[in-house]
Structure 1
Amino acid sequence: MKNSYLIVWLSVLSLTTCNQPAVSENDGTIQVPALEIEFNKAQIIATADSYLTQEPVPITSATCVRSAGGIHDFYSEGDYWWPNPEDPEGPYIRRDGKTNPENFTAHRQAMRNLNCWVAALVAAYEITGDEKYAAHALRHLKAFFLDPATLMNPNLLYAQAIKGKVSGRGIGIIDTIHLIEVTKAIEILARRGYLKGESLAGLKEWFAAYATWMNTHPYGLDEKDHGNNHSTWWAAQLAAFARLTGQEDLREVAQQQFKKLLAAQMAPDGSFPEEMERTKPYNYSLFNLEGYAVLCELASTPTENLWMYEGPNGSIRKAWDFMLPYVKDKSTWIKPPDVQHFDELPIQTTGLLLTAIAYDDPQMLSIWQQLDPTRTSEEVNRNYPIREPTLWVVTQ
C-alpha cells in the first residue's frame, strides 16, 4: 500500500467528499467488515496546506445596503426573485428555479468558505496531529462566532429577503446548512483536547442560542413546518447543533420531525411529490435525500435508529431506491431536465455513502464510487454542504 493512501473497510463509517476523498482516523487501516475503498491522505494535507495562509472572512467583511439588519446580522436574498421588467424599481417577482445572479451572496459565500476551510484544516490536524492546522481552524471559528468585532449574531432575521416584500423569511434558515459540518470540526477539536475552556464554551453557547432560536422564533417555526427540503434540512441542522451543545431535548425534536416529515413527504413509490413538481426535480429530490441522510446520521441514537424507522409508506431506504436508477443512469430520468445545472449532477455525496453504510449495501457503495465529487458551480456547491470525509469517519 502506498504511503499516501489509506485503505478503509466500510460498514459503519460516515464519510463525505469536498474536493478530495476520505481517510481513516489513524495512519493504518480501519478494519470494519464489508466494503473496501481507497482515500488519498496526501491530497487532504495538501488542501489544508493551501489554506494555511487564508485569513478569516467573517460576515462583517461585506455589507449590503438592502439589508435591514446591522453588520453582525447575516443577510441573503431569495434565489429565485428578480426585478419586475414592468416595474424595475418595484417589488421583485419570482422565477422558480432560476437564480438571480445580482443577488447579494457575500454572507452565504463566507459561510461556505468557513465550512470548507475549517473542515479541511481539522481533517489535516486529525490525520497528522500537527497543531498548526488546528490553530488556523480556530482562528476562523473565533472570527466568525466569538470575536465581538466580527462575530455573526446567532439568528437569521434577515435571510432570504425579497426587495419590496420582506426583510427576511423563515426559509432563510436553509442558508446555515453549511454550519452542520463546522460543528463536526468543533467536536473533533474538543475531543482531541485542543479546543477547550472559554473558546469551546463560547462556541457551544453560540450554537445553543441559534438552535434555541430555530425552535422558538416564528421564522424558525415557519421553516420547521414549511414542507419539502426546507423542513428536512431544518431538522438536520437542529440535530447537528443539539448534538454539539448537548441539548438532548432539541435532538429529540429532530427525531420526531424526521418521522413527521417522512410520513408527509414520501409517496408510496418512494418519490417526494413536492420536489418532483419543481422546475428542478432531479436536483431537489437528491437534495432532500441528502438532508434525510444527514438527519438520520445525526439524530439517531442507540435506542432510536432512524435509518430503520418505518413510516406509513416505508423507510427512507425506499426513497433512495426510487432515485438510485436515475443516479446510476440519468438518461432514464422520468421528468424533464432541470431548468438549470442538470448536466452537473449527480455528484458523489455524503448522503449516498451514509445510506450504503447504514444498509450495508455494496451495490449502493459501488454507485457512489463511480460518481465524480467535483462541484462545477456555486449552485451545486451550496446544495451539498458536507465536504470533508475525515470528520465523519473519526466521530463514529
Structure 2
Amino acid sequence: MALNLTRRRFTLAAAAAITAARLPARQPNARRSVAEMEHDHILADAAIALNAQPTGLMNVSASVAALTAAFVLTQQESYALAAFAQLADWLPAPISKSATPPSVVDLVPAAEIARSISFLTDAVHTDPINAWLVDLNQWLNTAHGPVIERDTKDHRASAWLLLVAAIARSQRDDATLDACRKRFRHPTLRNQVSEAGQFPQEMATANPFRNTLFNFDLLCGACQLLDSPLDPLWPSELIDGVSLRSTAAWLFPILKDPGKWPGIADAEHFRELPGRRPGLLFTGRAYEQSEYVELWRTTPPAVPTDIAASFPIRQPFLWTTRAPYGY
C-alpha cells in the first residue's frame, strides 16, 4: 500500500512538472501599482521642484505636478504647500484678457496643473488657480481661435479635448465631461485615426514621429480622464475597428524598436525619440497588455529638453490615481 502511494505521488509530481514546463512564463501584471513603479522617480523630481523657480507655463506645470505627486505619495503637506507657492508666484492674468492669447497647443501644460488641483483642493487654498482655470475653460469653448482648433483633425483638437477634460475633472463638471466623451467617440476617432491605427494628419507633417507620439499621449490622457465605470471610454471602437486600441497595437513595436518607424524621419530631433510615453502606460493598463506597461517602465524617464513640449504628461501617477471626491 505504501509503495503504491509513493508511486502515485511520484506520478502526480512528474505530471505537474511537465505541465508547468509547458505553461508560458508568468507575465508582469498590467495593473501593477504605478505608485510602486514611480516612487523613486516622483521623489527625485519633487526634490528638484522644491528648489525650482519656474516662470514659464511648461516649467510651472512640471514642477507643480512633481510636488503634487510627491504629496499624494507621501502625504507630506510640505509638498502641497510648495506646489501652491509656485502657482501663486506664477499665476498670470486671465487668458480671456490677454491681448495676444496663445494657441491651444501652447496651453497643454495647464492640463497637468488642473489635474494637480484635484489633489490639492483640501490641502491648500486653490480658489485663485480655480478661477484662472474656469476662465481658461470659458475661453476654450467660446473664443474664435480655440473653437477653430477644436474642430481640426489633428493634435490641435486633441490638445483642446485634453485641456477641457482636465479642467472639467478639476471642477467636477459632469456635464462637460459627458460632452467630452461624446466628442471623443465622434468626431475625434473618426477624424484622426485610420483603420491601421495611424494618425494620417500627423504622418503628413514635417515631424511625423514626434507629432504622432504627442497626439497619442494627448488622446490617451483625455481617455484616461474621461473613462468612467458607468460610461467606459477605452473600449470605444468604430464600426471599422478604429480605436485607441488599434493605435497602441500599431505603435508598440515602433516604440520598442524605433527603427521600425515606417514614415520619413522628423526634420528635427528625430534621434531623441520616442522617449517614455504615458500613452503606453495608459493603454497597457486599459487593455491588459503587460508588455506595454513593462516597456514604459523600463524606458528612461528623462524628457529631452529640446522636445519637452511634446511630452504633455510628466506625472502619470496623478492620472492613474483617483482624486478626493471621486475626481
TM over 0.5: yes
Q: Percent identity?
A: 27
- The structural deviation recorded for 1:141 is 1.6
- The structural deviation recorded for 1:212 is 1.7
8 A contact 1:236–1:254 mirrored in 2: no
Q: 1:365 to 1:125 in 2, by over 3 A?
A: closer
3-state SS of the aligned residue for 1:307? coil
Which structure 2 residues correspond to residues 225-236 of structure 1 after superposition, within 5 A? 225-236=151-162
1:212 aligns with 2:138: yes
8 A contact 1:263–1:313 mirrored in 2: no
- The structural deviation recorded for 1:356 is 0.1
- Corresponding residue for residue 44 of structure 1: 42
- Corresponding residue for residue 95 of structure 1: none
Q: Distance in 2 between matches of 1:180 and 1:12?
A: 25
8 A contact 1:239–1:251 mirrored in 2: yes
Larger radius of gyration: 2
3-state SS of the aligned residue for 2:104? helix
1:258 aligns with 2:177: no
- Corresponding residue for residue 314 of structure 2: 387
Q: Which has the higher contact order (CA 8 A, sep 6+)?
A: 1
- Corresponding residue for residue 61 of structure 1: none
Q: Distance in 2 between matches of 1:277 and 1:220?
A: 22
1:307 aligns with 2:234: yes
Q: 1:265 to 1:313 in 2, by over 3 A?
A: farther
- The structural deviation recorded for 1:45 is 2.8
Which segment drifts farther, 273-282 or 369-378?
369-378
Which structure 2 residues correspond to residues 249-288 of structure 1 after superposition, within 5 A? 249-259=175-185, 260-288=187-215
**Alignment counterpart, residue 87 of structure 2, candidates 110, 135, 141:** 141
8 A contact 2:115–2:167 mirrored in 1: no
Question: Unaligned regions of 5+ residues in structure 2, if any?
Answer: 1-27
Matched letter for residue 47 of structure 1: D
- Corresponding residue for residue 31 of structure 2: 11
Q: How many residues align?
A: 293
**Alignment counterpart, residue 239 of structure 1, candidates 149, 162, 165:** 165
Matched letter for residue 181 of structure 1: E
1:53 aligns with 2:48: no
Q: 1:158 to 1:324 in 2, by over 3 A?
A: same
Q: Distance in 1 between matches of 2:240 and 2:272?
A: 31
- Corresponding residue for residue 21 of structure 2: none
Deviations 1:285-340 (A, max 9, x none): 11111111001011222222111111243221111112222112121221221111
Q: 1:312 to 1:159 in 2, by over 3 A?
A: farther
Q: Distance in 2 between matches of 1:185 and 1:365?
A: 23
Which structure 2 residues correspond to residues 341-356 of structure 1 after superposition, within 5 A? 341-356=269-284
8 A contact 1:12–1:358 mirrored in 2: no
8 A contact 2:30–2:290 mirrored in 1: no
3-state SS of the aligned residue for 1:394? coil
> TM-score w.r.t. structure 2 length?
0.82
Bigger fraction of residues in helix: 2
**Alignment counterpart, residue 95 of structure 2, candidates 122, 131, 154:** 154
**Alignment counterpart, residue 333 of structure 1, candidates 261, 268, 273:** 261
- The structural deviation recorded for 1:376 is 2.1
Aligned CA-pair RMSD: 2.2
3-state SS of the aligned residue for 2:240? coil
- Corresponding residue for residue 70 of structure 2: 124
8 A contact 1:266–1:313 mirrored in 2: no
- The structural deviation recorded for 1:46 is 4.0
8 A contact 1:56–1:139 mirrored in 2: no
Q: Distance in 2 between matches of 1:10 and 1:287?
A: 23
8 A contact 1:255–1:306 mirrored in 2: yes
8 A contact 1:115–1:181 mirrored in 2: yes
Q: 1:261 to 1:46 in 2, by over 3 A?
A: closer
- The structural deviation recorded for 1:345 is 0.8
8 A contact 2:197–2:250 mirrored in 1: yes
Q: Distance in 1 between matches of 2:318 and 2:222?
A: 16
- The structural deviation recorded for 1:12 is 7.8
